[in-house]
């Protein structure tokens, strides 16, 4: 029997547009609620150290009203841990974070920071929060994740998504398939995400071991085009109505 597959919608880039003007809209919490109504199974918000898009109050406001679940994406820092323990999201996803990067560039080195990550996972576990570690499709990193007791991994699909040609894409896909199967065989919940778009999602969604896909940029980009005609029509209608009344 096939297991279901779930969609986590990342609304960071709604906040990116808001922060470009520093105002109140578009509100990523409104976007998250609309995504829930449209069928999202959960919402991801990444609170970066530099607060370039999502702000602390977004996390707090959404955690208080979600009808699905909040996946709070963060770096493994004291500051983020404190906020997670206060807000109590359903899940946290730990990612490596560099201030100068445009977006998350690679998976965590779980092997290189096992003690720190284990302490982090234990603390979250004690608070009833499931920890997901964002890692590359690599067996050693998967084993280390299982060893420290994190229940969930998110496989970084960025190299698959950004592959320069079909041969590289097929090789990256093969890594993801075997990593997902291996992690599943160890009893881990297997999520995946980064760079997934309308034209590359299906090969990943086909992988039976994968539980949830986290997708953001392509959804917000598509929504601009599916929504722009209506927005322009409404603006024009208001202008013409004002001129001739
Ligand atoms: N998963 C993780 C861990 C991420 O860091 C991101 C990007 O914030 C995503 C999923 C979503 O990636 P994208 O915006 O490319 O769909």
Q: Is the pLDDT of residue 24 over 90?
A: yes
Q: Please, what is the end-to-end C-alpha distance for the chain in angstroms?
A: 63
pLDDT digits (tens, 9 = 90+) for 156-182: 999 999 999 999 999 999 999 999 999
Question: Token digits for 146?
Answer: 């299982």
SS3 category, 5: coil
Q: Is position 35 within any domain?
A: no
Q: By alpha-carbon position, which residue is closest to atom 4 of ligand 1?
A: 194
Mutate to test the pocket of ligand 1, among 50, 98, 216, 219 (most ligand atoms within 8 A of CB): 216
Q: Is position 228 within any domain?
A: yes
Q: Residue 132 is part of which domain span?
A: 75-244
Q: Is position 49 within any domain?
A: no
Per the CB < 8 A criterion, the answer to whether 170 and 151 are in contact is no
Q: Is the pTM of this model over 0.85?
A: yes
Q: In terms of Cα–Cα distance, which of 47, 73, 50, 58 is closest to 24?
A: 58
Which range among 9-13, 95-99, 136-140, 241-245 shows the weakest confidence by mean pLDDT? 95-99
Atom of ligand 1 nearest to the CA of 10: 11
Q: Is position 13 within any domain?
A: no
Residue 191 confidence class, pLDDT cut points 50, 70, 90:
very high
Measured between alpha carbons, how far is residue 102 from residues 76, 83, 98, 201 in Å? 19, 24, 9, 22
Average pLDDT over residues 27-53: 97
Q: Is position 103 within any domain?
A: yes
Strands 130-135 and 6-10: what pairing? unpaired
Give the mean pLDDT of the chain: 96
Which range among 29-33, 47-51, 96-100, 194-198 shows the weakest confidence by mean pLDDT? 96-100
Atom of ligand 1 nearest to the CA of 194: 12
Per the CB < 8 A criterion, the answer to whether 116 and 90 are in contact is no
- CB-defined site of ligand 1, < 6 Å: 10, 12, 46, 73, 93, 95, 103-104, 134, 154, 193-196, 214-218
Q: Is position 81 within any domain?
A: yes
Domain count, the chain: 1
Model pLDDT, residue 50: 95
3-state DSSP helix/strand/coil % of the chain, to nearest 5: 50, 15, 35
């Amino acid at each position: 029997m096939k297991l279901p597959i779930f969609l986590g919608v990342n609304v960071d880039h709604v906040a990116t547009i808001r922060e470009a003007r520093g105002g109140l809209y578009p509100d990523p919490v409104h976007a998250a609620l609309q995504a829930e109504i449209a069928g999202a199974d959960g919402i991801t918000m990444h609170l970066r150290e530099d607060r370039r898009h999502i702000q602390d109050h977004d996390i707090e406001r959404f955690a208080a009203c979600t009808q699905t679940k909040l996946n709070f994406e963060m770096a493994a820092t004291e500051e983020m841990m404190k906020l997670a323990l206060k807000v109590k999201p359903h899940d946290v996803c730990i990612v490596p974070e560099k201030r100068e990067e445009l977006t998350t560039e690679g998976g965590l080195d779980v092997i290189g920071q096992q003690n720190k990550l284990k302490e982090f996972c234990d603390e979250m576990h004690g608070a009833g929060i499931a920890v997901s570690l964002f890692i590359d499709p690599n067996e050693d990193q998967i084993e280390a994740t299982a060893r420290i007791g994190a229940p969930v991994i998110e496989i970084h699909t960025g190299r698959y998504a950004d592959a320069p040609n079909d041969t590289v894409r097929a090789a990256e896909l093969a890594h993801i398939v075997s990593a997902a199967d291996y992690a599943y065989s160890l009893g881990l919940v297997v999520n995946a995400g980064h760079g997934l778009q309308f034209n590359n999602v299906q090969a990943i969604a086909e992988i039976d071991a994968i539980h949830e896909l986290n997708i953001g940029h392509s959804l917000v980009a598509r929504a601009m085009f599916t929504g722009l005609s209506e927005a322009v029509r409404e603006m024009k209608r208001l202008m013409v109505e004002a001129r001739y009344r």
